[in-house]
Amino acid sequence: MNIRVEEIRKRERGSLRGFATVNVGGFIRISQIKIIQPEGKEAFIQMPQRSYQTNNGERRYSNVVDLPDDLTREVEKVVLWSWNLERHSSPSKE
């Protein structure tokens, strides 16, 4: 499956490192994929989510897009590769 990263937007806030937009197979575009890297751990992605409140007042989250696990892993691999490439090729702020 052809997966292309269209955009990476850097955003440093806690463990959040940025957002990605990808195109899957030339016909599905997924925006607002979070790039997360907790301190001292490997980076991973989180698909876009929406929040809702249950009848008893609890806040819950569910994915806006559900992909098969193998496709999610492929999207993650491409997004993290692009993010690392961009991160290491950007001029450093000193």
Q: What is the pLDDT along the chain (94 residues), one digit of tens a residue?
A: 899 999 999 999 999 999 999 999 999 999 999 999 999 999 999 999 999 999 999 999 999 999 999 999 999 999 999 999 988 876 655 4
Residue 45 falls inside a structural domain: yes
Q: Where are the beta strands (DSSP E) in the chain?
A: 3-13, 16-24, 28-36, 44-46, 49-53, 59-63
Residue 93 falls inside a structural domain: no
Going by the DSSP 8-state scheme, the letter that residue 57 receives in this structure is: S
Residue type, 74: E
Residue 34 contacts by C-beta under 8 Å, 6 or more apart in sequence? 16, 18, 19, 45, 46, 48
Q: Residue 13 is part of a domain; what is its CATH number?
A: 3.30.1120
Find residue 28's DSSP bridge partners.
Answer: 24
Residue 65 falls inside a structural domain: yes
Residue 31 falls inside a structural domain: yes
Provide the residue range defining the domain that includes 23.
Answer: 3-88
DSSP helix/strand/coil, 92:
coil
How many structural domains comprise the chain? 1
Going by the DSSP 8-state scheme, the letter that residue 23 receives in this structure is: E
Residue 94 falls inside a structural domain: no
Residue 22: the pLDDT is 98
